[in-house]
Amino acid sequence: MKDKFLKIYEKINWSIILFVVFLLVLFFNLNLYIALTFYLIVIFLDGIVMYLTKQKKGFIISVVSALVLGAIMLLFL
């Protein structure tokens, strides 16, 4: 299961997906919280990958960035 998750994660081109979300927010005037929520999900998935590959530094950075983004979202609600 772990190897299957890591293979799927490596196949996804996250930069294109994040750019598409940016364009959707820009062109369709979507709420910014939609994009921030998606970015938070991506950071969460990245943290899981860092945890599974035993990269402690990357995992800590992912957790801290998710907490900061979540705090910013709650601050401006």
Full-model pTM: 0.69
Query: Among residues 51, 24, 50, 52, which one has the least CA distance to residue 37?
Result: 24
Can you give the pLDDT at residue 22? Answer: 81
Distance from C-alpha of 34 to C-alpha of 2, rounded to nearest angstrom: 29
DSSP-derived letter for residue 12 is S
Can you give the pLDDT at residue 45? Answer: 85
Sign of CA dihedral 25, 31, 36, 42: negative
Can you give the pLDDT at residue 19? Answer: 85
Can you give the pLDDT at residue 27? Answer: 86
Ranges of residues in the chain with a pLDDT under 50 are none
Distance from C-alpha of 10 to C-alpha of 19, rounded to nearest angstrom: 18
Can you give the pLDDT at residue 51? Answer: 87
